[in-house]
Amino acid sequence: MLSTIQHMVAFLFGYQTTVSSDTITVTEDNYTLKGKIAPRFHNEGNTDVSILNVTVKPGEMFNCSANNFSMKGSINIIMPDGGKVVCIYNSLHKKDC
């Protein structure tokens, strides 16, 4: 029900979402979540990484999402040499007129 209401509000006020990704290969002490909706972190490297003090093994995913809500704040990502994390997220934008 909430999802349906949110979609109707977005449609009526002229908003749309887009999907984007960031590739992270170095330690980020303050990786921003500002404006990101449902960010998911995929460890695409060959070593363990630490995201928000959680160990994420190669091939695993860390879900840091508040579905349907734009986030704020930042998190730490500790990346050893050779690490690679891809963050996939949505963001809300006013439609072009």
pLDDT at 92 over 70: yes
For the beta sheet containing 49-51, the strands, ordered from the edge strand earlier in sequence to the opposite edge, are 28-32, 74-78, 49-51, 54-56
Domain count, the chain: 1
pLDDT at 2 over 60: no
pLDDT digits (tens, 9 = 90+) for 10-49: 666 677 788 999 999 999 999 999 999 999 999 999 999 9
pLDDT digits (tens, 9 = 90+) for 39-83: 999 999 999 999 999 999 999 999 987 677 788 999 999 999 889
Domain that holds residue 63: 2-94
Q: Which residues pair with 20 in a beta bridge?
A: 89
Write the CATH number for 56. 2.60.120.1030
Model pTM above 0.85:
no
User: Strand, coil or helix: what is 87?
Assistant: strand
